[in-house]
Homo-oligomer: A and B are copies of this chain.
Amino acid sequence: MSDDIRLDLEREARIGIAEAVFSAGKSTDQLARIIALDPARRRLFTRLAPEQVAALPTEAAERLCYDPLSRTAVMGGELPCLDPARVAIVAAGTSDLPIVAEIERTLAFHGENATHFLDCGVAGLWRLLEQQAAIGRHPVVIAVAGMEGALFSVLGGLVRGVLIAVPCAIGYGVADGGRAALHSALASCAPGITVVNIANGYGAACAALRVLGALDFRG
């Protein structure tokens, strides 16, 4: 079966965000053909496993700037990022780092910096409270948490910025798969929290870009 890959090349012009290549489940051949398609164009790959990169022909692999922690690759070079960062990423624990990294890489691909605040889990509330002012200086806050996701509600009562929750599949038993954290975010008693799919760091970054786009348009 021949398959004619048709990327949505006009997406960036239309909605301000370029189409990323969701790489999970794609074969070596498919990935190589996508890389070859339009080599001068800047492009972001998400959910790209180290084994997939290792299996690529050298010529294709060399075009990618790959980061194993976030499982993302960038093709066509980085953009300079503006300072100071307009996005704060607040994470509950060290296990959330791969998602934090996916957010940062997606933002950087679009030329946005981020400041991260790690180990802010609410079991040691002081760690979050002592960063409250620094976090609050960013117009957009992305919160990353697994287990019971209590961080989302606590943050929602403390900061006035846009707040995007990324529930994660950290934990076991009823936390397995991330549903407990997802439902915590959706059912939060704090007003105005919005939510993306479990572990969807890419989506959270895109949502932040939509807000920053509105800021730029107005500013």
Contact B125 A25 (CB under 8 A): no
- Interface-side segment among A7-15, A48-56, A57-65, A74-82: A7-15
Annotate A130-147 by CB proximity to B: 1 below 8 A, 0 otherwise. 000000000110000001
Nearest chain-B residue to A202 (Cβ)?
A: B191
* Set of chain B residues within 8 Å of A215, measured between Cβ atoms: 214-215, 218
Question: Given A160-B210, A198-B172, A217-B139, A8 and B187 touching (CB < 8 A)?
Answer: no
With both beta carbons as reference points, the residue of chain B lying nearest to A8 in the complex is identified as B124
Contact A123 B11 (CB under 8 A): yes
Q: How many residues of A contact B (CB 8 A)?
A: 103
Verify B182–A95 contact, CB threshold 8 A: no
A171-187: CB near B (< 8 Å → 1, else 0) gives 11111111111111111
Which parts of A181-209 form the interface with B (CB within 8 Å)?
Answer: 181-200, 202-203, 206-209
Task: Confirm or deny: A118 has a beta carbon within 8 angstroms of a beta carbon on chain B.
Answer: yes
Q: Is A39 an interface residue (CB 8 A)?
A: no
How far, in angstroms, from A182 to B148 measured CA to CA in the complex?
10
Cβ-neighbour of A183 out of B162, B163, B180 (below 8 A): B180
Q: How far is the CA of A10 from the CA of B180 in the complex (A)?
A: 27
A32 within 8 A of B: no
Min CB gap A138→B, angstroms? 9
The A10-34 residues at the B interface (CB cut-off 8 A) are 10-11, 14-17, 19-20, 22, 24-26, 30
Whether a CB of chain B sits under 8 angstroms from the CB of A100 is yes
Contacts of A122 in B (CB 8 A): 150, 153-154, 157, 189-190
A36 within 8 A of B: no
Show 18 A/B contacts (Cβ-Cβ < 8 Å), sorted by A: A1-B101, A5-B118, A5-B119, A7-B119, A8-B124, A10-B124, A15-B157, A26-B95, A30-B97, A122-B189, A147-B189, A148-B186, A150-B153, A163-B210, A172-B198, A172-B199, A179-B183, A180-B183
